[in-house]
A = this chain, B = another copy of it.
Amino acid sequence: MDEERWAEGDVVSLLPVDGPVVVTRLARGPQRLGEAGVIDLGDQIGRPVGGEVQWLGQVYHAVRPSLADLLSTVRRMAQIVTLKDAAQLIALASVRPGARVAEAGAGSGALTVCLAHAVGPEGRVISYDRRGDFLEHARSNLARAGLSDRVEFRERDVGKHGFDATGFGSVILDLPEPWEVLGGAREALAPGGYVATYTPTYNQLERTVRGMRELHLAEVRALELIERGLHVGEGGTRPEFEMLGHTGFLAVGRRTG
């Protein structure tokens, strides 16, 4: 049933039996791959997704990249959203296949990758940032992930000028002063749509939640997700000693009318 076939330019994950995935782009002719050498994937074009590739004496499966694979290709300018928080924002804001969602700011584009993955090929992400250099950086990350055709980047200070489109099912705010954008976000939402925010400090969260209430958003909630790794070892099972103590606080509200 997985009768998809590779096309030139597709992003492909090369999966060894053992060791880390290598994510690259399907091109004709030899290309440099990491520090490991040169590969020519040209003969995969037209072949079924999931087939085998020989490279440097090892067998790889050539598969569609997973969300984790795609995130691993993102080059960071600043701290990027964690997968757990991206997944939660997507669930809280009810992002769904085929949806149009807005995002501000673009940041490094990691959250944009997750949103583009969640809306699928029929959906659309409009990503706003007031800084052109951030947009350029995010744009190149989305291109590397092969998701450019689902995303539109717009240079715009949505805090000052509001959004330039309406009817979004979800608006995600990943910027330092989300409360300044809430009014515009509300305008940009379709009735029933959600605005969700992501900020590191409780001070930001507090202003954001108060702002949501002033705008009479419904179903306002604030929360955080703490991820705890589990270690299954010879001697038994326990939580991991290493842990990220904090990522960010999430808030969400819904436009009712």
Residues of A bordering B, CB below 8 Å = 1-2, 13, 15-18, 50, 59, 61, 63-64, 66-68, 83-84, 86-88, 90-92, 94, 96-98, 100, 114, 117-123, 165-167, 169, 190-192, 194, 200-206, 209-210, 216, 218-219, 221-232, 235-246, 249, 254, 256-257
Contacts and interface: CB of A to CB of B under 8 A. Distances in A.
Given A91-B67, A238-B200, A241-B246, A227 B225 contact: yes
A232 B222 contact: yes
Contacts of A117: 96
Contact of A97 (B84, B121, B231): B121
Contacts of A66: 94, 192, 194, 254
Nearest to A66: B94
Contacts of A243: 243-246
Contact of A84 (B88, B194, B229): B88
Contacts of A165: 1
B97 A98 contact: yes
Contacts of A87: 87-88, 90-91
A15 B237 contact: no
Contacts of A1: 100, 165-167
Nearest to A13: B192
Chain A to chain B: the 9 pairs with minimum beta-carbon distance, closest first: A97-B120, A243-B245, A63-B192, A201-B236, A97-B97, A203-B236, A87-B91, A66-B94, A239-B246
Contacts of A224: 227-228, 230
A192 B61 contact: yes
B97 A203 contact: no
A146 B210 CA distance: 35
A97 B68 contact: no
Nearest to A252: B68
A79 to B, nearest CB: 9
A90 B84 CA distance: 10
